[in-house]
């Protein structure tokens, strides 16, 4: 019965994970509209994380009060790191990068998440991989090619309008420093998007062992957003000077509502739960689906051109490499006759708290 339950959870995770890049693609388009209006990125993230935390915290408190292990200082430090990388750094870098590019390309960079995830898991001893297989994919992602669907002048006009308006940034000194070394606005956006992918990869890789020690996945998500929101509050206090930045338009309110409920509370909940069942390897495997969803939605709603670059080859190559690496891992640890692992990560092993207590602590 236990094997059937684990197999059922694995299939549920595989069914749910494709929803993550689909919802993120919608987030790309909706957020780009808000950025074009001129919303401050820190203010946007502040409201987004506030909404997500107010949803996740009560759910985690009531649903997992009997299964939550006690909190230790080491766990709090782990939650802080998850909030720093997966919430604060991930969201802020993504918004800045999206402001300088477009939803299609912001989605096209996301296939580098599996690459960085494998690099982190390799350093942490979770995976044994050949990094040379990923070297070409990291650099190939910078090429976008000619536009095959849509008018490329539409995107150029949007960039000109954005530059003329002067998009508010929380780190203007860093922006100016990168521009001084010769990067144009599009390349600058790519740099921030790559930073976003690195943060997300670190979040996935580091979250897996945390879930092994603290298997209350909804509480892990809530704690991560709690620390991420706290960092956003501190940054906003020092870097948002205009009181008018806190006043949102109707389109910005809708973008915050979607971001806080769908792109934060729901998506991060799915990712954490799937990471507990599948591990970071297979969870990161689904990120290459995001470029297709983003390109399709941004072409429909924003008129952003779809570029014929090497993106399709990158996605195909990353899928092959990722799946091959996962198969290697299966062969290393052993696979049952029906194709399932003898010991699934995270879910089969009892943590120290569970082994010593028959019932969870009171909430």
pLDDT class of 315 with cuts at 50, 70, 90:
low
Token output for 219: 């509480």
Mean pLDDT calculated for residue range 99-126 = 80
pLDDT digits (tens, 9 = 90+) for 216-274: 999 999 999 999 999 999 999 988 888 888 999 888 899 999 999 999 999 999 999 99
Question: For the chain, what is the mean pLDDT?
Answer: 75
DSSP 130: -
* Spatial distance between the Cα atoms of 45 and 221, rounded to a whole number of angstroms: 16
Please report where in the chains the tokens 């960079």 appear, as a residue: 109
Instruction: Enter the tokens of residue 311.
Output: 């993106």
Q: What is the predicted pLDDT for the residue at 109?
A: 82
pLDDT digits (tens, 9 = 90+) for 87-96: 999 999 998 8
Could you give the C-alpha distances from 9 to 14, 216, 273, 361, in angstroms and in order? 9, 15, 10, 25
In this structure, the number of other CB atoms found within 10 A of the CB of residue 191 comes to: 17
Length of the chain: 363
Q: Find the DSSP H helices in the chain.
A: 2-16, 19-37, 41-63, 73-82, 90-100, 103-109, 112-123, 132-140, 152-165, 172-180, 185-213, 217-239, 250-260, 267-278, 280-285, 290-301, 311-333, 352-356
Q: In the chain, what are the domain boundaries? A: 2-356
Cβ contact 85:206 at 8 Å: yes
- Top-confidence range, 40-54, 99-113, 177-191, 345-359: 40-54
- Decide if 43 contacts 236 (C-beta within 8 A): yes
Is the CB of residue 227 less than 8 Å from the CB of residue 110? no
pLDDT in tens, 14-47: 889 989 988 988 887 788 777 777 788 899 999 9
Most confident listed range (34-38, 115-119, 162-166, 300-304): 115-119
Higher pLDDT, 185 or 357: 185
pTM, rounded to two decimals: 0.74
Q: Checking DSSP bridges between strand 306-307 and strand 147-149, what pairing results, if any?
A: antiparallel
Higher pLDDT: 283 or 132? It is: 283
What's the average model confidence in pLDDT over 196-206?
95
* Cα 8 to the center of its chain, rounded Å: 25
Predicted pLDDT at 234: 95
* 3-state secondary structure at position 265: helix
Q: Which residues, 6+ apart, have CB-to-CB distance to 5 below 8 Å?
A: none
Res 359: pLDDT: 46
Structure token digits, residue 85: 């990388």
Which 3 state secondary structure label does DSSP give 160? helix
């Amino acid at each position: 019965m236990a094997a059937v339950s684990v197999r059922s959870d694995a299939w549920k995770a595989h069914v749910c994970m494709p929803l993550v890049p689909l919802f993120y693609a919608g987030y790309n388009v909706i957020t780009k509209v808000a950025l074009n209006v001129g919303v401050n990125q820190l203010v946007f993230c502040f409201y987004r994380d506030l909404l997500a935390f107010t949803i996740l915290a009560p759910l985690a408190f009531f649903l997992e009060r009997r299964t939550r292990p006690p909190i230790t200082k080491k766990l709090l430090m782990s939650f802080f790191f998850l909030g720093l990388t997966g919430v604060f750094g991930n969201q802020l870098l993504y918004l800045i990068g999206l402001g300088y590019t477009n939803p299609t390309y912001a989605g096209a960079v996301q296939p580098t998440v599996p690459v960085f995830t494998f690099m982190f898991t390799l350093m942490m001893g979770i995976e044994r991989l050949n990094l040379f297989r990923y070297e070409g994919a990291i650099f190939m992602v910078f090429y976008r090619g000619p536009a095959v669907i849509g008018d490329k002048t539409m995107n150029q006009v949007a960039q000109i309008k954005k530059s003329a308006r002067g998009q508010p940034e929380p780190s203007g000194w860093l922006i100016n420093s990168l521009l001084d070394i010769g990067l144009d606005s599009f390349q600058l956006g790519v740099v921030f998007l790559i930073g976003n992918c690195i943060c997300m990869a670190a979040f996935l890789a580091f979250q897996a062992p945390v879930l092994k020690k603290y298997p209350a996945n909804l509480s892990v998500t809530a704690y991560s957003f709690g620390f991420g929101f706290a960092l956003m509050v501190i940054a906003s206090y020092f870097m948002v000077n205009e009181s008018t930045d806190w006043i949102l338009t109707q389109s910005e309110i809708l973008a915050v509502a979607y971001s806080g409920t769908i792109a934060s509370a729901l998506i991060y909940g799915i990712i954490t739960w799937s990471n507990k069942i599948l591990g970071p390897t297979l969870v990161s495997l689904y990120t290459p689906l995001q470029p297709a969803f983003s390109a399709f939605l941004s072409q429909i709603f924003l008129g952003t051109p779809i570029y014929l670059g090497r993106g399709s080859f990158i996605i195909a190559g990353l899928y092959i490499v990722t799946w091959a690496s996962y198969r290697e891992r299966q062969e290393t640890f052993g696979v049952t006759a029906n194709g399932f692992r003898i010991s699934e990560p995270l879910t089969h092993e009892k943590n120290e708290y569970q082994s010593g207590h028959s019932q969870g602590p009171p909430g």
